[in-house]
Structure 1
Amino acid sequence: MLRGCRFLFILFAVPFLLPNQLAAESLDQFDPLKVDPYMGDYEGEYLAVGRDPVPADAKVIAEGSDTYRVMISTKAVHDVFWSPRIEITGRRTKEGMQLAGDSSGLTWEGQIKDGSMVARVRSRYGGTFALHHVLRESPTAGLKPPKGAIVLLPFEKGAAPDMSEWDNSTWKSHSDGSMQVGEGDNHTKREFGDVRLHLEFCIPYEPDGRGQDRGNSGVYFQDRYEPQVLDSYGLIPRAGDCGAIYEIAVPPVNACLPPLSWQTYDIVFRAPRFTDKGDQSEFPWITVELNGVKLHERQWITHSTVGGKEGFVAKGPFRLQDHGHPVRYRNIWAQELNIQQ
């Protein structure tokens, strides 16, 4: 979404590159385990005295200055006597991460070390969370284009992508097969009507950012309608978060992966319809899956989203947004459709 940024902090610096030049910097800056081994998802059990273990999971969200927001909860089980859902603070130290805080009416303490998390109630009658770090992946990451699809950004590991389908040569190519946001938005040279789009994106690690100032970009259909790209990991989804049709439709669940993970959009878009005289007769609709989770199905779009062109057209380009954040894209392809309903 196009808004003025209040501030921007980027942990890694990218050297100046000539247009369309292969970035030569180390790709370690894109490895989540090397950048921040604590951030991300954890799975395990909640252990309570005299009770059977209950499945549990956690999200660890970096918030800058070696501090973290740690959200832990038990998974839905029909006969659980009590289902704790806690939010505490993590502080990174030389020995690991120390956990502490008051939540759900109890005082909690614990640590994360070597990929294992333990969080317990500071009482001999309390329970304990025992979890381990996991790396989740989108089930559609690396999805191959079907026969007849138009490859807009080919993906091959170890090879810089061909960016010739795009009109902005200032965007950077990386040897991991990705294209990184440069100066200014980037449009496809082709235009599309009814279409199926597969797109993969990677949010940068920006722990000091908040809200729209954290890994912001977006993909516009027909240069008008934006499914949001943003670091919304661990948040209660709102109309401006990742997976939203910006300020039109809120995601029913948060399907985001942590920053530096490759995430996927799989989207079907039906263009607006027009009469023989050229008058608009039907609004466009869109079906959106984020990381394999369906968030919107045939969502009608009655107006352009913020930052999009006004008016309705039969065909238009895709636009990837520059919002001042080094978001990366890869494996983008489009399949032209003729949707009858």
Structure 2
Amino acid sequence: MPNYIKIFLLFVVIAPNGFGQEKEPTTPEATEFYEPVPPKVIPGTNGTPPSDAIVLFDGKDFDQWISSVDSMAVKWHLNEDGSMTVKDKAGNIQTKKNFGSVQLHLEWKSPAEVQREGQNRANSGVFIQQRYEVQVLDNNDNPTYTNGQVGSIYKQGVPLAMASVPTGEWNTYDIIFHAPEFSRGGNIVEPATVTVLHNGVLIQDHFVIEGTIKYIGWPKYQAHGKAPLVLQDHKDNSRVSFRNIWVRELD
């Protein structure tokens, strides 16, 4: 919720007598608000983003992205069907723009030809603020540790369901992320939270993130500001493809 709405609602609650206890309304008008007025957003149709979205990838180019390895041009494959595919050993890619709290939409698919097992089958990930990973993995007939399976908050949050489509078909992720808040001294005040819908199925429900994702060790918070979104090259010939990526800023 934007801060200006929080402040307005707080004022409404305490303003009548200054002690946080409102008098019981005696007319319907007493409980009707006309401010703040929400901004108008035109919804997308047939897979197009809403009117206030920032389009990060529409299949035409990598203009919104750089290599995480050297901050140079992206070396992944740009495909004729409007998607991009991880290029083995090319490294992660990240957005040029930094983000805080966001609504993020993207589509991904694993290769139709099944290769390898466990964490080495079509492994990638969506890192929010470079630190908090929503796992991408082909888990069809491919069990692994559940806090590392598809849709997990890696090594932290087990998904509520496994909602993948058949191997080789397009999955969707719709992610609502609220960035952590830190004190001036760098202490965590409000941890990050994330909600994830996988192919329209709720798999993470306002999950409270415990800190930066770690492969080994416990997660910990370190103060930070806005940061890029990252797509992972897992360096295992994952060949995961992405398309139709857009984001709405929530702060």
TM-score calculated relative to the size of structure 1? 0.53
Q: Distance in 1 between matches of 2:50 and 2:81?
A: 22
Shift of residue 259, structure 1, vs aligned partner: 1.7
TM-superposition CA deviations, 1:199-248 (whole Å, max 9, x none): 10011134341101111111100000111000012456711111111111
Q: How many residues align?
A: 194
Q: Secondary structure, in 3 states, of the residue corresponding to 1:212?
A: helix
CA, structure 1 residues 141+245, in 2 after alignment: closer, same or farther (shift >3 Å)? farther
| Unmatched tracts of structure 1, length 5 or more | 1-139, 156-160
The question of 1:292 aligning with 2:197 is answered no
> Which shows bigger deviation, 286-295 or 273-282?
273-282
Which of 125, 130, 142 does residue 223 from structure 1 map onto? 130
Shift of residue 279, structure 1, vs aligned partner: 3.8
CA, structure 1 residues 311+206, in 2 after alignment: closer, same or farther (shift >3 Å)? farther
Q: Distance in 2 between matches of 1:179 and 1:311?
A: 32
Shift of residue 297, structure 1, vs aligned partner: 1.2
TM-superposition CA deviations, 1:258-296 (whole Å, max 9, x none): 221010100000000123555431110000111110011
C-alpha contact 2:57 2:246 (8 A) present in aligned 1: yes
Q: How much is the aligned-residue C-alpha RMSD, in angstroms?
A: 2.3
Shift of residue 141, structure 1, vs aligned partner: 11
Which of 204, 209, 229 does residue 116 from structure 2 map onto? 209
Residue 331 of structure 1 corresponds to: 244
Q: Quick one: which amino acid aligns to residue 222 of structure 1?
A: Q
Q: Distance in 2 between matches of 1:272 and 1:310?
A: 9
Q: Distance in 1 between matches of 2:222 and 2:66?
A: 22
CA, structure 1 residues 141+309, in 2 after alignment: closer, same or farther (shift >3 Å)? farther
Which of 209, 214, 218 does residue 301 from structure 1 map onto? 209
The question of 1:282 aligning with 2:187 is answered no
C-alpha contact 1:195 1:335 (8 A) present in aligned 2: yes
Of Structure 1 and Structure 2, the greater helix share is in 2
Which of 158, 171, 175 does residue 250 from structure 1 map onto? 158
C-alpha contact 2:113 2:168 (8 A) present in aligned 1: no
CA, structure 1 residues 301+166, in 2 after alignment: closer, same or farther (shift >3 Å)? same
Which of 243, 267, 273 does residue 175 from structure 2 map onto? 267
Displacement over 6 Å in runs of 4+: none
Which of 95, 104, 107 does residue 197 from structure 1 map onto? 104
Compare CA radii of gyration and give the structure with the larger one: 1
Of Structure 1 and Structure 2, the greater strand share is in 1
Q: Distance in 2 between matches of 1:255 and 1:240?
A: 15
Q: Distance in 2 between matches of 1:328 and 1:141?
A: 23
Q: Distance in 1 between matches of 2:109 and 2:97?
A: 24
Residue 76 of structure 2 corresponds to: 171
C-alpha contact 2:112 2:169 (8 A) present in aligned 1: no
> Which structure exhibits the higher relative contact order, with contacts defined as CA atoms closer than 8 Å and separated by 6 or more residues?
2
CA, structure 1 residues 262+248, in 2 after alignment: closer, same or farther (shift >3 Å)? same
